[in-house]
Amino acid sequence: MSKDIEYFQHTLNEPVTCFGRGLHTGLSVVMRILPAAPNTGWTFIRRDLPQGENEIRAIWFNVRDTQLSTTLGNRFGATVSTVEHILSALKAHGIDNARIVLNAPEVPILEGSARTFSDLILSSGRRVQSARRRVIVVRKTIEVVEGDKFVRLTPAPEATADVEIDFPSVAIGRQKLTGIKLDEKTFVTRIRDARTFTMKSEVDKIMAEGLAQGASLANAILVDDEKVINPEGLHYPDEFVRHKVLDLYGDLALAGAHIIGHFSGRKIGHTLNARLVAKLVSNTNNFTFTDREYAETYWTTINYRDSA
């Protein structure tokens, strides 16, 4: 694909459909992903709610909860949960505009990774649209620190990341990925199959609260301190940190446009990522919103040391 096509927005070629259960509600969900008009971004549409109040845009100011998964909501109180893996796949495959229609309050968890979403998007293919892509160029280092956890964005010519996790559980421990390019190739070859994970003790607790009703060994890695309970084991020895990178694609995309900058983080999660995105875009001194094509020359002509 010629590079100048990358300067324009894209949508799906044709609608795709998937079926599955919601991780937390356990409800059966039918979800269709449809092409959408330029400059509309990603919109969830709850078919089970009244028209006019049932559209929820995937954008940072609509984030309502990030505790167990990312929940988005609109001003009418309509919400949609567990949006992170479909958003990650849309972002990674360069789908700027899509309508995501579902009949439940939660996106199906499927196999707990982004594999099915990625396959569906690839099977549809994408088509170029008339509107140009806009990007967010990070101009200042911004960070959110909480105890021994942090997330940070620094000016850099490309979207790259260093991610470290450190769990007391022996089966996970400390894992690190550095110099990851947050692009489609990395996603397909290293990231999209990494599953979400949870501690057995946590699952017991949240199930007692009536959540994780759809959880099973088919849609998450279950860890009991020293061992992985799933009989098939892991897809990769460092599947846990890879899944954190998978989540990162979607979490950063909630800024509303592709972020050009370097992300680094330790013990990251949806909550800190969402706070970082909100901090970035709520002060116009932190970034420049510009045309994607222009952003490349922009980077080479600006002396970032002055603004850092």
Q: What is the contact surface with Zn ion in residues (CB under 5 A)?
A: 196, 247
Q: Three-class SS string for 102-136?
A: ECCCECECCCCCCHHHHHHHHHHCEEEEEEECEEE
Tell me how far, at minimum, the Cβ of 187 lies from Zn ion, in Å: 13
Distance CA 81, CA 249 (A): 17
Closest to Zn ion by CB, 124 or 196: 196
C-beta separation of 206 from 23 below 8 A = no
DSSP 194-257: PPPEEEHHHHHHHHHTT--TT--TTTSEEEETTEE-STT--SSTTHHHHHHHHHHHHHHHTTSS
Distance CA 127, CA 133 (A): 14
Closest to Zn ion by CB, 83 or 135: 83
Closest to Zn ion by CB, 62 or 196: 196
Closest to Zn ion by CB, 137 or 246: 246
Distance CA 117, CA 51 (A): 26
C-beta separation of 223 from 175 below 8 A = no
Tell me how far, at minimum, the Cβ of 98 lies from Zn ion, in Å: 19
Written as one letter, the residue type at 135 is V
Tell me how far, at minimum, the Cβ of 247 lies from Zn ion, in Å: 4
Tell me how far, at minimum, the Cβ of 85 lies from Zn ion, in Å: 6
> Is 235 in the active site?
no
Q: Which of 85, 93, 262, 270 is catalytic?
A: 270
Catalytic positions: 270
